[in-house]
Amino acid sequence: MVAATTPVLDPAAVAGAGRGTLLRLATAGSVDDGKSTLVGRLLHDTKSVLSDQLAAVERVSRDRGLTAADLALLTDGLRAEREQGITIDVAYRYFATANRSFVLADCPGHVQYTRNTVTGSSTADVVVLLVDARKGVLEQTRRHLAVTALLRVPHVVVAVNKIDLVDFSQEVYDRVESEVQAVARELGVVDAIAIPVSALDGDNVAERSTRTPWYAGPSLLELLEALPPSDDPANESFRLPVQLVIRPQGAARDPQFRDYRGYAGQVASGVVRVGDEVVALPSGRRTTVTGIDLGEASLEEAFAPQSVTLRLADEIDISRGDVIAAATDAPEPTQDIKAVVCWLGDAPLRPGQRLLLKHGSRTVQTAVRTLDGALDLDDLHAVPAESLSLNDIGLVTLRLASPVPVENYSTSRRGGSFLLIDAHDGRTVAAGMVGATLPTAADAPSQPEGDEEWEI
Amino acid sequence: MTTTVTNTPSAEARTDRRLSQLDALEAEAILVIREMAGELERPALLFSGGKDSVVMLHLATKAFWPAPIPFPVLHVDTGHNFPEVLAYRDETVERLGLRLVVASVQDYIDDGRLRERADGTRNPLQTMPLLDAINDNRFDGVFGGGRRDEEKARAKERIVSLRDEFGQWDPKNQRPELWNLFNPRHRPGEHVRVFPISNWTEVDIWRYIEREDIPLAPLYYAHEREVFRRDGMWLAVGPYSQPRDDEPVERRLVRYRTVGDMSCTGAVESPARTNADIVLEVAASTLTERGATRADDRISEAAMEDRKKEGYF
Ligand SMILES: Nc1nc2c(ncn2[C@@H]2O[C@H](COP(=O)(O)OP(=O)(O)O)[C@@H](O)[C@H]2O)c(=O)[nH]1
Ligand SMILES: [Mg+2]
């Protein structure tokens, strides 16, 4: 049971935080599988819960007649969540160890809140998928795994939870693990790592448990600390969607910058150096980088995901929404795209519909040409569909009103992702991934085939 | 290989081209500020003179440099401000050449649109002047310095968060927010609140203030002050907070972790005189900043959520 000790933070770790790298984690899995409890346990056992927060959680737990603090209350902070004992929307919590800072996004499990889970996972470096050891794979487990696979979250950890309720049985664990891994493989996730845990008691969460002697792997925290950081941006091509053109003219606070002209944006991928040849898209005009500014500082190079301002040799026409890319392998702007979408709108998607598409800093009109299939969550392959309802995953063909330099999502998460927006009320109705496909009946095999199903 | 990043304020930038946590947070905040400047017609930035809004303003100056910040700043003045903070606010606005819009709670009380509360705190009274200022100035987006680690309802907030025509937040039906693609579109009458420093913790704020050497109002640093004890906090003796008979006044070495309505914002005893001292102190603290300093948030479990639903910051 949860020890009601006053936590003592490790000030050195907290003060040192900020020097290490940032890892973003999101939880996934069906309702009641223990996601919020696990996040609470991780915060508690890393001494990241301050004493007034813990006291508040203990008070509420006591009022409800619980004998121990319900650590899920550390993230289930809305009134409606506490009344119903569920998670409705993502809660973000933070903790740091000596070498890493973590952003924890605790996501809801209910199917009706899947759009919130998509929100939490879209920026994640790692998804921790919880499965109740007594129940195994449920529909929401499949749905969340499908979303994780589609979003290409770099790492997936399967926490086989409530191991205390199955007598810490290796046999149960092995069975559940292979069931989850089979589904994961079908969806293209080949390297998920599984851990037996009890979120309630803390087994294998921060520290390795003595109650699972048959398990020789790391605790969840050890695993998270050891996950390899994201790829070196030098391995990707340089892209920078232009957010703003900075031209102070007479408004310059310092007259020396009257003639300054720079293109501000975040490096979406790759590295750019002063002297590099670049191309502006969609115009295709080429020029050279003459300066890189970050506030008042001038840099020799910038890399993803730095927010910088580029100065260029020629006064070519570049405006907000354009992309500045490495001249050598720039993407080809196109008006026709095929993509997989997670439909997040309340009203269904239908072929023929007109919407807005936001890619990088550009928004264009688009029409849904065809709906080419929807993912059936039972047998995990695409089936014909006439519309997509809230939380459905489907394959669409879109026609854009003007060319946009999209990339394949499998080569660039930033270059291949887009939003669909309802032009009338401004609501975001879909998350789109360019060039992704759904497994078809023919290639939904029982034997694993790597992650090919998700390539073009 | 050696790093080719020169002249950068971030000493911790890695040779292997991975951003440190602070650099990653800075890059994200600048991305958000620029994107909203590009998408919105008439944004404004909430500026109280408090540390979070100061950091946000600093990030905005970086986002547009060497051009000035292209939108005004808005202060909802409770009339219960620390004079040092108001002076700091005015100096900063002057130094950066900003346009300041002030919405005054006192005006609303004077003409009867708002009534003073029994407990004397004016934090909840800020909502109406804030919403009126947004309407009157036709602001379609307002940058706020809210951080998710401050409070459990804030932990649920999107970076770009929709408000309906009554300024209300609907936490049960928030817009999806995907990747780094921010969508502030809305119907006429609605607006968005934008929180560029959502993912910063209190320690991040102080490490950044230290790294960037950002000037702050002096009351964030240890100083001697006449204080009295109430509800387990040290309150300053001042025009809006007077000790009762059973509350003896003492002179103590204190500093403020948050600055707000003087009548309900407590000081903490502290010898921390420099940013480096404060980083260590905050890192070792066993209380959250609100738990340590805000009487109004202790009233109910859901005080912040209820205020936010009505349109509070
Ligand atoms: N026995 C046991 N109960 C657990 C464990 N993890 C979570 N629970 C309980 O399962 C219920 C649902 O947990 P919660 O964290 O809210 O699940 P969520 O819906 O996935 O966030 C709560 O009553 C928890 O106390 C565990 O490891 N062992
Ligand atoms: Mg939950």
Percent of chain B with pLDDT strictly greater than 70 = 93
What's at B224, amino acid-wise?
A: E
Report the number of distinct structural domains present in chain A. 3
State whether A166 and A272 are in the same domain: no
**d(C-alpha A349, C-alpha A366), whole Å:** 13
A14: pLDDT strictly greater than 60:
no
ipTM of this complex: 0.91
Cβ within 8 Å, pair A78-B97: no
Ligand located closest to A132 CA = 1
Q: Is residue B4 part of a domain?
A: no
Distance A81 CA to ligand 2 centre (A): 9
Report the number of distinct structural domains present in chain B. 2
Q: What is the rounded average pLDDT of the residues A292-309?
A: 97
Q: Is residue A1 part of a domain?
A: no
Q: What are phi and psi of B133, to 5 degrees?
A: -65, -40
State whether A268 and A139 are in the same domain: no
Name chain B contacts of A248, Cβ cutoff 8 Å: 66-68
A358: pLDDT strictly greater than 70:
yes
- Which of A93-102, A362-371, B72-81, B232-241 has the lowest average pLDDT? B232-241
Q: Is residue A125 part of a domain?
A: yes
For residue A312, what are the domain limits?
A: 234-326
B44: pLDDT strictly greater than 70:
yes
Residue of B nearest to A300 (CA): B5
Please say which residue of B203, B224, B248 terminates a domain: B203
Please say which residue of B154, B169, B203 terminates a domain: B203
Residue of B nearest to A234 (CA): B17
Q: Is residue B307 part of a domain?
A: no
**d(C-alpha A76, C-alpha B133), whole Å:** 33
A455: pLDDT strictly greater than 70:
no
Instruction: Identify the DSSP state of A123.
Output: T
- Asked if B2 is an interface residue toward chain A (Cβ–Cβ < 8 A), one would say no
A445: pLDDT strictly greater than 50:
no
A225: pLDDT strictly greater than 50:
yes
**d(C-alpha A274, C-alpha A287), whole Å:** 12
Residue closest to A104 by CA, chosen among A179, A25, A32: A25
- Among residues 423-442 of chain A, which lie with CB inside 8 Å of chain B? 424-428, 431
Alpha helices per DSSP H over chain B: 21-39, 51-64, 83-96, 105-110, 127-136, 202-212, 275-284, 289-293, 303-310
Q: Distances in Å between the alpha carbon of A152 and those of A121, A123, A451?
A: 10, 10, 10
A6: pLDDT strictly greater than 50:
no
pLDDT of residue B62: 97
Q: Kindly report the average pLDDT of chain B as a whole number.
A: 88
What are the pLDDT digits (tens) for B157-215?
A: 999 999 999 999 999 889 999 999 999 999 999 999 999 999 999 999 999 999 999 99
Distance B242 CA to ligand 2 centre (A): 45
Rounded to 5°, the CA angle B179-B196-B207 comes to: 115
Q: Is residue B12 part of a domain?
A: no
Q: Is residue B312 part of a domain?
A: no
State whether B169 and B243 are in the same domain: no
CATH number for the domain that contains residue B80: 3.40.50.620
Residue of B nearest to A10 (CA): B284
Tokens of A54: 């813990």
pTM of structure:
0.91
Q: Is residue B306 part of a domain?
A: no
CATH number for the domain that contains residue A241: 2.40.30.10
- The beta-carbon contacts of A382-389 under 8 Å, at least 24 apart in sequence, are A382/A438, A382/A439, A382/A440, A382/A441, A386/A350, A386/A351, A387/A348, A387/A349, A387/A350, A388/A341, A388/A343, A388/A348, A388/A349, A389/A343, A389/A348
Residue closest to A187 by CA, chosen among A383, A375, A336, A20: A375
pLDDT of residue B195: 98
Q: Is residue B142 part of a domain?
A: yes
Instruction: Identify the DSSP state of A294.
Output: E
What are the pLDDT digits (tens) for A28-39?
A: 999 999 999 999
B8: pLDDT strictly greater than 70:
no
Q: What is the rounded average pLDDT of the residues A64-71?
A: 88
User: Which of A5, A6, A10, A14 would best serve as a mutation to test chain B binding (most B beta carbons within 10 A)?
Assistant: A14
**Which 3 state secondary structure label does DSSP give A100?**
strand
pLDDT of residue B284: 86
State whether B258 and B183 are in the same domain: no
- Asked if B164 is an interface residue toward chain A (Cβ–Cβ < 8 A), one would say no
State whether A225 and A318 are in the same domain: no
Report the Cα–Cα distance between both ends of chain A, in Å, rounded. 49
Cβ within 8 Å, pair B148-A94: yes
Residue B298's pLDDT band (cuts 50, 70, 90):
low
Q: Is residue B3 part of a domain?
A: no
Q: Is residue A455 part of a domain?
A: no
Residue closest to A453 by CA, chosen among A191, A145, A187: A187
Residue closest to B149 by CA, chosen among B309, B295, B296, B291: B291
Distance A431 CA to ligand 2 centre (A): 23
- Asked if A251 is an interface residue toward chain B (Cβ–Cβ < 8 A), one would say yes
CB-closest option in B9, B185, B284 to A421: B185
CATH number for the domain that contains residue A47: 3.40.50.300
Tokens 């009257």 sit at which residue?
A258
Residue A334, H or E segment: strand A334-343
Please say which residue of A185, A206, A230 terminates a domain: A230
Ligand located closest to A78 CA = 2
- Which of A126-140, A432-446, B256-270 has the lowest average pLDDT? A432-446
For residue B109, what are the domain limits?
A: 21-203
What are the pLDDT digits (tens) for A397-437?
A: 999 999 999 999 999 999 999 999 999 999 999 999 999 98
Percent of chain A with pLDDT strictly greater than 70 = 92
Q: Is residue A444 part of a domain?
A: no
